[in-house]
């Protein structure tokens, strides 16, 4: 239970998909229910003299509604009053959670500077927030490069970075599958929903360049689903299309995790956000330890089921 002002409570109905909400006043109780035609209100007598608000717990994010971060207005996350735009609530949750996970690693860090590459940056909601986190919150000098294939999107992101004085932030039009990328020392690689094998190219780049940290949320794992053949005990999972698709996606990320471990990374496969905020909610959280693991199990699976997996092929040819 949570006590809210009237306007915020109505917003909760719209944003969080509640079916019913209760307003307790000193004299009356109002119950609003959501129906197909809108709100339906019922009123009943109430002897309450005082509303108890001790149960209220406010979730504190690294970026909170009401924070004065002008770039979030430009990106459409916040209104001019620094309220969350209702249609952007899921994106707000995603980027906040991503940076919270990064913060778990850097909360007590005495790092002075950091270099980060963001693969498949898109409109760069996450990229800008990561820059804000390191530079404005942690006071760490950051050089961040965001890669994307869309020229107009990249140009707009560079315009915004310049407008708001994000001097260490740069966006480059690039196809990570074939173009030449940054050649200096890299501390971290991030990717949020880089589609299909673009995630594999990002992970391979991080491995080749010995990036200390990788935070990757994969998306659209089509490759195994399209190539896997029957061949063993998992055949029962390949009969129905829906189950085959989900199994293939989980198998893809499991293999990526095993390959990263074989290349000297500790890997945690974690839930990124609640499924309600994104169905693509698995994150690979990795840290370079140089402790390598054998991947004969992966080789045997690929041989038995005759499927393709891009990260496996890339690492094999490094």
The lowest-confidence range among 43-57, 63-77, 155-169, 265-279 is 43-57
| 174: in domain | yes
Residue 64 in any domain: the answer is: no
Residues 11 and 158 in one domain: no
pLDDT exceeding 90 applies to what percent of the chain?
63
Is the pLDDT at 285 greater than 50? The verdict is yes
Q: How confident is the model at residue 196 (pLDDT cuts 50, 70, 90)?
A: confident
Higher pLDDT, 221 or 262: 262
User: What confidence score (pLDDT) does residue 162 get?
Assistant: 96
Kindly report, residue by residue over 96-131, the tens digit of the pLDDT. 999 999 999 998 888 999 999 999 999 999 999 999
CATH classification of the domain holding 82: 3.40.50.150
**Of 293, 272, 292, residue with least CA distance to 283:** 272
Residues across the chain: 318
CB-based contacts of 278, cutoff 8 Å, min separation 6: 90, 94, 272
Q: Judge if 25 and 111 occupy the same domain.
A: no
Q: Is 29 exposed, middle or buried (0-12, 13-18, 19+ CB in 10 A)?
A: middle
- Report how far apart the first and last C-alpha atoms of the chain are (Å, whole number): 54
- CA 231, distance to chain mean position in Å, is 35
Residues 224, 234: Cα–Cα separation, whole Å: 13
Q: Residue 10: what pLDDT?
A: 55
Percent of the chain residues past pLDDT 70, beyond the cut: 79
**Number of domains, the chain:** 2
What whole-number distance in Å separates Cα of residue 304 and Cα of residue 296?
12
- Please tell me the distance from the alpha carbon of residue 192 to that of residue 283, in angstroms, as a whole number: 9
187: tokens are 């501390």
pTM: 0.79
Do 26 and 78 share a structural domain?
no
Please report whether residue 214 resides in a domain: yes
Interstrand relation of 28-35 and 38-45 (parallel, antiparallel or unpaired): antiparallel
Joined together, the tokens standing for residue 288 give 């370079």
Max CA distance (Å), the chain: 75
In sign, the C-alpha dihedral spanning 300, 304, 306, 307 is negative
* φ/ψ (deg, to 5) at 135: -80, -50
Do the domain assignments include residue 128? yes
Q: Which residue range forms the structural domain that includes residue 46?
A: 1-58
Same domain, 2 and 79: no
Asked whether residue 30 falls in the same domain as residue 137, the answer is no
Of 163, 134, 167, the closest CA to residue 62 belongs to: 134
């Amino acid at each position: 239970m949570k006590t809210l002002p009237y306007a915020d409570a109505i917003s909760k109905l719209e944003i969080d998909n509640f079916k019913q909400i209760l307003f307790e006043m000193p004299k009356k109780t109002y119950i609003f229910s959501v129906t197909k035609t809108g709100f339906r209100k019922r009123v009943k007598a109430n002897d309450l003299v005082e509303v108890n608000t001790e149960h209220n717990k406010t979730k504190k994010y690294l970026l909170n509604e009401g924070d004065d971060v002008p770039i979030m207005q430009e990106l459409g996350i916040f209104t001019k009053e620094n309220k969350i735009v209702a249609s952007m609530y899921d994106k707000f949750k995603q980027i906040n959670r991503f940076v919270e996970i990064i913060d778990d690693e850097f909360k007590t860090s005495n790092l002075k500077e950091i270099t980060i590459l963001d693969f498949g940056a898109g409109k760069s909601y996450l990229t800008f927030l990561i820059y804000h986190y390191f530079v404005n919150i942690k006071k760490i000098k950051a050089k961040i490069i965001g890669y994307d294939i869309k020229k107009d999107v990249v140009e707009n992101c560079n315009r915004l970075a310049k407008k708001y004085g994000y001097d260490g932030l740069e966006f480059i039009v690039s196809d990570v599958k074939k173009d030449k990328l940054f050649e200096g020392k890299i501390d971290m690689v991030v990717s949020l929903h880089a589609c299909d094998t673009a995630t594999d190219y990002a992970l391979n780049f991080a491995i080749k360049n010995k990036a200390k940290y990788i935070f990757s949320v994969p998306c659209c794992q089509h490759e195994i689903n399209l190539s896997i053949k029957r061949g063993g005990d998992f055949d029962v999972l390949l009969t129905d299309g829906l189950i085959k698709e989900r199994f293939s996606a989980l198998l893809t990320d499991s293999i990526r995790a095993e390959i990263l471990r074989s290349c000297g990374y500790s890997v945690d496969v974690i839930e990124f956000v609640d499924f309600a905020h994104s169905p693509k909610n698995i994150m690979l959280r990795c840290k370079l330890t140089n402790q390598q693991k054998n991947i004969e199990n992966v080789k045997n699976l690929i041989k038995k089921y005759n499927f393709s997996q891009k990260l496996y092929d890339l690492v094999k040819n490094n």
